[in-house]
Chain A
Amino acid sequence: SQQGEEDPQALSIQEGENATMNCSYKTSINNLQWYRQNSGRGLVHLILIRSNEREKHSGRLRVTLDTSKKSSSLLITASRAADTASYFCATDLQGAQKLVFGQGTRLTINP
Protein backbone atom coordinates (compact mmCIF):
# COMPACT_ATOMS: atom_id res chain seq x y z
CA SER A 1 0.00 0.00 0.00
CA GLN A 2 1.12 3.56 -0.56
CA GLN A 3 2.77 5.30 2.35
CA GLY A 4 1.97 8.81 1.23
CA GLU A 5 -1.23 10.26 -0.11
CA GLU A 6 -1.36 13.60 -1.85
CA ASP A 7 -4.26 15.96 -1.83
CA PRO A 8 -5.71 17.18 -4.12
CA GLN A 9 -5.26 14.66 -6.91
CA ALA A 10 -5.52 17.47 -9.45
CA LEU A 11 -5.21 21.25 -9.17
CA SER A 12 -5.75 23.88 -11.85
CA ILE A 13 -4.92 27.55 -11.19
CA GLN A 14 -4.09 30.75 -13.04
CA GLU A 15 -0.54 31.85 -13.64
CA GLY A 16 0.70 34.02 -10.82
CA GLU A 17 -1.41 32.35 -8.16
CA ASN A 18 0.01 30.18 -5.40
CA ALA A 19 -0.38 26.39 -5.48
CA THR A 20 -0.57 24.29 -2.34
CA MET A 21 -0.33 20.52 -2.28
CA ASN A 22 -0.61 18.31 0.76
CA CYS A 23 0.81 14.95 1.67
CA SER A 24 -0.14 12.60 4.49
CA TYR A 25 1.79 9.52 5.54
CA LYS A 26 1.40 6.65 7.95
CA THR A 27 4.63 5.65 9.67
CA SER A 28 7.69 7.30 11.20
CA ILE A 29 10.09 8.89 8.76
CA ASN A 30 13.68 10.06 8.55
CA ASN A 31 12.77 12.71 6.03
CA LEU A 32 10.16 13.63 3.46
CA GLN A 33 10.99 14.61 -0.09
CA TRP A 34 9.10 16.28 -2.91
CA TYR A 35 9.63 15.44 -6.56
CA ARG A 36 8.33 16.77 -9.82
CA GLN A 37 7.52 14.80 -12.96
CA ASN A 38 6.93 16.30 -16.36
CA SER A 39 4.80 14.21 -18.70
CA GLY A 40 6.70 11.23 -20.03
CA ARG A 41 9.85 11.98 -18.04
CA GLY A 42 11.57 10.74 -14.91
CA LEU A 43 11.09 12.30 -11.51
CA VAL A 44 13.28 15.19 -10.43
CA HIS A 45 14.04 15.98 -6.80
CA LEU A 46 12.83 19.38 -5.56
CA ILE A 47 13.38 19.59 -1.83
CA LEU A 48 14.04 17.44 1.24
CA ILE A 49 12.88 18.19 4.77
CA ARG A 50 14.20 16.20 7.72
CA SER A 51 12.00 14.91 10.51
CA ASN A 52 13.42 17.46 12.96
CA GLU A 53 12.67 20.39 10.66
CA ARG A 54 9.36 22.21 10.41
CA GLU A 55 9.80 24.42 7.39
CA LYS A 56 12.16 24.74 4.47
CA HIS A 57 12.46 27.13 1.53
CA SER A 58 14.02 26.83 -1.89
CA GLY A 59 13.37 29.63 -4.34
CA ARG A 60 9.61 29.77 -4.91
CA LEU A 61 9.08 26.53 -3.00
CA ARG A 62 8.10 26.31 0.64
CA VAL A 63 7.71 22.98 2.41
CA THR A 64 6.29 22.39 5.86
CA LEU A 65 6.33 19.22 7.92
CA ASP A 66 4.15 18.34 10.90
CA THR A 67 5.31 15.01 12.30
CA SER A 68 2.58 14.99 14.95
CA LYS A 69 -0.04 15.01 12.20
CA LYS A 70 2.10 13.00 9.80
CA SER A 71 1.57 15.56 7.08
CA SER A 72 3.50 17.89 4.81
CA SER A 73 2.62 20.64 2.39
CA LEU A 74 4.33 22.05 -0.68
CA LEU A 75 3.63 25.65 -1.63
CA ILE A 76 4.67 27.04 -4.99
CA THR A 77 4.41 30.82 -5.02
CA ALA A 78 3.84 33.02 -8.07
CA SER A 79 3.17 30.02 -10.30
CA ARG A 80 4.28 29.92 -13.92
CA ALA A 81 3.05 27.90 -16.89
CA ALA A 82 6.31 25.94 -16.72
CA ASP A 83 5.32 24.65 -13.27
CA THR A 84 2.70 22.46 -14.92
CA ALA A 85 3.65 18.91 -13.90
CA SER A 86 2.84 16.16 -11.42
CA TYR A 87 4.21 16.55 -7.91
CA PHE A 88 4.94 13.64 -5.60
CA CYS A 89 5.86 13.36 -1.97
CA ALA A 90 8.16 10.54 -0.92
CA THR A 91 8.79 9.27 2.56
CA ASP A 92 12.17 8.00 3.65
CA LEU A 93 11.06 5.46 6.20
CA GLN A 94 12.67 5.23 9.60
CA GLY A 95 14.37 1.90 10.15
CA ALA A 96 14.37 1.09 6.45
CA GLN A 97 16.20 2.42 3.47
CA LYS A 98 13.36 2.57 1.04
CA LEU A 99 11.77 5.64 -0.50
CA VAL A 100 8.01 5.29 -0.92
CA PHE A 101 5.98 7.62 -3.11
CA GLY A 102 2.42 8.85 -2.96
CA GLN A 103 -0.03 9.00 -5.86
CA GLY A 104 0.87 12.53 -6.82
CA THR A 105 -0.91 15.81 -7.53
CA ARG A 106 -1.34 16.87 -11.13
CA LEU A 107 -0.86 20.64 -11.27
CA THR A 108 -1.96 22.69 -14.27
CA ILE A 109 -1.05 26.36 -14.53
CA ASN A 110 -3.24 28.25 -16.98
CA PRO A 111 -1.62 31.19 -18.80
Chain B
Amino acid sequence: QQQVKQSPQSLIVQKGGISIINCAYENTAFDYFPWYQQFPGKGPALLIAIRPDVSEKKEGRFTISFNKSAKQFSLHIMDSQPGDSATYFCAAIENGSGNTGKLIFGQGTTLQVKP
Protein backbone atom coordinates (compact mmCIF):
# COMPACT_ATOMS: atom_id res chain seq x y z
CA GLN B 1 0.00 0.00 0.00
CA GLN B 2 1.06 3.59 -0.58
CA GLN B 3 2.54 4.83 2.68
CA VAL B 4 2.69 8.43 1.50
CA LYS B 5 -0.23 9.67 -0.59
CA GLN B 6 0.22 12.76 -2.72
CA SER B 7 -2.28 14.94 -4.55
CA PRO B 8 -3.00 16.28 -7.06
CA GLN B 9 -1.30 14.24 -9.75
CA SER B 10 -1.02 17.32 -11.96
CA LEU B 11 -1.44 21.03 -11.42
CA ILE B 12 -1.61 24.04 -13.72
CA VAL B 13 -1.09 27.49 -12.22
CA GLN B 14 -0.80 30.94 -13.72
CA LYS B 15 2.42 32.87 -13.24
CA GLY B 16 2.31 34.71 -9.92
CA GLY B 17 -0.22 32.31 -8.43
CA ILE B 18 0.10 29.94 -5.48
CA SER B 19 0.79 26.26 -6.09
CA ILE B 20 -0.32 23.85 -3.36
CA ILE B 21 0.56 20.17 -3.20
CA ASN B 22 -0.72 17.93 -0.43
CA CYS B 23 0.58 14.75 1.16
CA ALA B 24 -0.73 12.40 3.82
CA TYR B 25 1.00 9.58 5.68
CA GLU B 26 0.08 6.77 8.04
CA ASN B 27 3.32 5.71 9.71
CA THR B 28 3.82 7.73 12.90
CA ALA B 29 7.46 6.57 13.03
CA PHE B 30 8.33 8.93 10.16
CA ASP B 31 10.50 11.71 11.55
CA TYR B 32 11.65 13.70 8.53
CA PHE B 33 9.59 14.99 5.60
CA PRO B 34 11.48 16.33 2.57
CA TRP B 35 10.16 17.67 -0.70
CA TYR B 36 12.03 16.98 -3.91
CA GLN B 37 11.96 18.84 -7.22
CA GLN B 38 12.69 17.00 -10.43
CA PHE B 39 13.25 18.47 -13.89
CA PRO B 40 12.95 16.30 -17.01
CA GLY B 41 15.99 14.07 -17.51
CA LYS B 42 17.36 14.83 -14.06
CA GLY B 43 17.34 13.15 -10.70
CA PRO B 44 15.26 14.51 -7.81
CA ALA B 45 16.88 17.33 -5.86
CA LEU B 46 16.07 18.32 -2.29
CA LEU B 47 13.93 21.45 -2.19
CA ILE B 48 12.93 21.88 1.45
CA ALA B 49 12.34 19.61 4.44
CA ILE B 50 10.66 19.65 7.83
CA ARG B 51 10.64 17.65 11.06
CA PRO B 52 7.35 16.86 12.86
CA ASP B 53 8.10 19.08 15.85
CA VAL B 54 7.70 22.16 13.61
CA SER B 55 4.40 23.27 12.07
CA GLU B 56 5.82 25.42 9.29
CA LYS B 57 9.08 25.99 7.48
CA LYS B 58 9.72 28.67 4.89
CA GLU B 59 12.59 29.03 2.46
CA GLY B 60 12.15 31.85 -0.01
CA ARG B 61 8.97 31.25 -2.01
CA PHE B 62 8.61 27.67 -0.73
CA THR B 63 6.77 26.80 2.49
CA ILE B 64 5.98 23.48 4.11
CA SER B 65 2.96 23.33 6.39
CA PHE B 66 2.84 20.34 8.73
CA ASN B 67 -0.14 19.01 10.69
CA LYS B 68 1.06 16.23 12.95
CA SER B 69 -2.34 15.33 14.39
CA ALA B 70 -3.85 14.97 10.92
CA LYS B 71 -0.71 13.29 9.55
CA GLN B 72 -0.67 15.67 6.63
CA PHE B 73 1.81 18.09 5.15
CA SER B 74 1.78 20.38 2.17
CA LEU B 75 4.06 22.42 -0.07
CA HIS B 76 3.10 25.96 -0.98
CA ILE B 77 4.90 27.75 -3.80
CA MET B 78 4.20 31.47 -3.64
CA ASP B 79 4.47 33.71 -6.70
CA SER B 80 4.86 30.66 -8.93
CA GLN B 81 7.16 31.12 -11.94
CA PRO B 82 7.48 29.23 -15.23
CA GLY B 83 10.89 28.02 -14.00
CA ASP B 84 9.08 26.18 -11.19
CA SER B 85 7.50 23.86 -13.77
CA ALA B 86 8.70 20.43 -12.69
CA THR B 87 7.62 17.27 -10.91
CA TYR B 88 7.43 17.53 -7.13
CA PHE B 89 7.64 14.60 -4.74
CA CYS B 90 6.89 14.56 -1.06
CA ALA B 91 8.69 11.93 0.95
CA ALA B 92 9.19 10.60 4.45
CA ILE B 93 12.03 8.89 6.21
CA GLU B 94 11.24 5.58 7.85
CA ASN B 95 12.83 5.92 11.26
CA GLY B 96 13.19 2.34 12.33
CA SER B 97 14.82 -0.91 11.29
CA GLY B 98 18.24 0.25 12.39
CA ASN B 99 17.86 3.78 10.99
CA THR B 100 18.58 2.87 7.40
CA GLY B 101 17.34 6.26 6.18
CA LYS B 102 15.05 4.78 3.54
CA LEU B 103 13.01 7.43 1.76
CA ILE B 104 9.36 6.65 1.08
CA PHE B 105 8.03 8.75 -1.80
CA GLY B 106 4.62 10.05 -2.74
CA GLN B 107 3.35 9.50 -6.27
CA GLY B 108 4.51 12.89 -7.55
CA THR B 109 2.81 16.05 -8.86
CA THR B 110 3.56 17.53 -12.25
CA LEU B 111 3.36 21.31 -11.97
CA GLN B 112 2.99 23.55 -14.99
CA VAL B 113 3.21 27.30 -14.47
CA LYS B 114 1.77 29.21 -17.41
CA PRO B 115 3.34 32.56 -18.33
The answer on A and B forming one complex is no
